[in-house]
Structure 1
Amino acid sequence: MTSLPRAPRDEAQGRVRQYVITMSIRMVCFLLMFFVQPIGWWTWVFGIAAAVLPYIAVVFANAGDDSVVTTVESPRIGIEAASGADQQTPPAHDVITLSETAPTVHGAESRP
């Protein structure tokens, strides 16, 4: 149970894969622009796609997963849900909760 985003390595591999697919489509459009005969409106569509796809590929490759919102999930919720499901047996592990408090200075009241 975690709310961590994708690993950077996995995210980079996904972006590279998406870039390669987009640039492959561009190459197909570029080749079709020259080899599809007779020249017509589709030739212009292939030419525009071959010109615009590099920009789109770079923008999407650099975008990453920053737009994906991740929420923080407390592990305590999963532990409480699991312990609430079966009340008969005590939990196998103790839960240690740490919290920070302001340090107190002992004997500061007695100083002049």
Structure 2
Amino acid sequence: MKNARGVPAVTSLPQSPQDEADHRVRRYALTMTIRIICFALMVLVQPYGWYTWVFGIAAAVLPYIAVVFANAGSDSTETIAESPVQEIEAPKPEPIAVEESTDPQVFTIREGRRDES
């Protein structure tokens, strides 16, 4: 069976919208969890030093990064992959030799009376 041109195979279809949204929510939640950890480390790690500034800058910048990544959807210009199904050409059948006979074969069916016993 040949695959119609322009019809994508199941394996080349993009991710479903629900799966893509779930993936973006998980990525946002992970980034915001890292932000909370950075904020906690900024406050709790003693003595204060240069790493306090690193944790503070990370806690301030991560919300922007999380929102940008959460809003970035999949690229709609992706090319459709070729179908993994191989198309095999069927061999051409050999012509069947037909004997030409002068008298055609005719089947005659006649109905008769049914014998009731």
How does the TM-score come out when normalised to structure 1? 0.64
Residue 37 of structure 1 and its aligned partner are, at CA, apart by 0.3
CA deviation map 1:56-88 (0-9, x unaligned):
000000001126713264x6x7251xx35xx68
| Residue ranges of structure 2 left out of the alignment (5+ in a row) | 1-8, 92-117
Partner of 1:39: 48
Partner of 1:78: 85
> C-alpha root-mean-square deviation of aligned residues, in Å?
2.2
Q: How many residues align?
A: 82
- In 1, Cα distance between the equivalents of 2:64 and 2:14? 26
| Residue ranges of structure 1 left out of the alignment (5+ in a row) | 89-112
State the percentage of identical aligned residues.
62
Larger Cα Rg: Structure 1 or Structure 2? 2
Kept in 2: contact 1:15–1:61 (CA 8 A) = yes
Greater relative contact order: 1 or 2 (C-alpha under 8 angstroms, separation 6 or more)?
Answer: 2
> Within 5 A, what are the aligned runs for 1:13-92?
13-66=22-75, 69-71=78-80, 73=82, 78=85, 80=87, 83-84=88-89
- In 2, Cα distance between the equivalents of 1:58 and 1:68? 22
How does the TM-score come out when normalised to structure 2? 0.62
Partner AA of 1:46 in structure 2: F
Moved over 3 A (4+): none
Partner AA of 1:10 in structure 2: D
